[in-house]
Amino acid sequence: MTEPAISATNVRLEYKLSRSNIGSIKEYAIKTVKREMNYESLWAIDDVSFDIAKGEVFGIIGPNGAGKSTLMKIMARVLPPTSGRVIVRGSVAPMIELGAGFNNDLTGFENIVMYGTLLGRTPQRMRERAFEIAEWADLTDFIDVPLRSYSSGMLARLAFAVATDIDPDVLVVDEVLSVGDAAFQIRSTERMKSLIERGASVVIVSHNLDTVSDLADRAMWLDRGKNLMTGAPLDVINAYQQTVDGGHG
């Protein structure tokens, strides 16, 4: 048996919510002296363990605020876990909140290079790929135009095109299948599927339970940072839907 692409063991992540809302050093000093510093710990991810095999599509479902996006960010290395351990074997393409670092004053070309480099690719490679990326996103005519003149749909297309212009070992996807107009949605879904066919492991978070049951090999139900259930997508979705219908969600 080969090693899993992602192994998460007892992962916890703590957010410290300070009730006293300290914004300055002075307040901090005063409140420390007065012993008024009361932190409330919020465990956004609470003791979650799972393995994702190579080539497996793993869906994560759960209500708002369950910690789905936080868990994605831990796998994408953005947030280090407070305790526990995450191992990711292979290159990761994070597709969470696309378009990080887009700059309105720079052209489409310059933004393609910058965004791709932020995602871990080299500037040379991005310069070579920029025109093909723009072509795929239907933005060839806009490649030398500053981003301020782009519509929000164009921005989303550009970001998606850059983010998926690789052959990653692991794809971390957060609700990005609903990008752009209907025609672009079809093409972007196709591209996602071709990445999956090429053997990438995929972690997918979606509120759309049909997407999860269509694509995923296995699913996890996350609620308040806890892993409530892992198993076949339909079983997990059914169990989750029962609580929603029962009025707990």
Q: Is 71 helix (H, G, I), strand (E, B) or coil?
A: helix
Closer to other proteins by Cβ: residue 115 or 221: 115
Of 113-132, binders to other proteins (CB under 8 A) are 113-114, 117-124
E strand or H helix at 184, and its extent?
A: helix 182-197
CA distances (Å), origin 207, targets 13, 68, 96, 183: 22, 10, 14, 21
The CA distance from 163 to 117, in Å, is 11
One residue of 60, 61, 74, 200 binding other proteins per CB under 8 A: 74
- Should residue 78 be labelled a site residue for other proteins when binding is judged by CB under 8 A? yes
Residue 172, token pair as written in the block: 């971390």
Would you say 118 and 160 are in contact if contact means Cβ atoms under 8 Å apart? no
Closer to other proteins by Cβ: residue 101 or 231: 101
What amino acid is encoded at 73 in this protein?
K
Diameter over CA atoms, the chain: 62
Closer to other proteins by Cβ: residue 108 or 233: 108
The CA distance from 184 to 3, in Å, is 36
Of 151-190, binders to other proteins (CB under 8 A) are 166, 168-169
- Should residue 65 be labelled a site residue for other proteins when binding is judged by CB under 8 A? no
- Should residue 199 be labelled a site residue for other proteins when binding is judged by CB under 8 A? no
- Should residue 105 be labelled a site residue for other proteins when binding is judged by CB under 8 A? yes
Cβ neighbourhood burial of 21 (10 Å; 0-12, 13-18, 19+): exposed
- Should residue 28 be labelled a site residue for other proteins when binding is judged by CB under 8 A? yes
Closer to other proteins by Cβ: residue 170 or 192: 170
Binding mask of the shown chain, residues 83 to 102, with x at each position contacting other proteins by CB under 8 A: -xxxxxxxxx-x-xx--xx-
**Interface ranges with other proteins (CB under 8 A):** 13, 15, 23-25, 28, 73-74, 76-81, 84-92, 94, 96-97, 100-101, 103, 105-106, 110, 113-114, 117-124, 166, 168-169
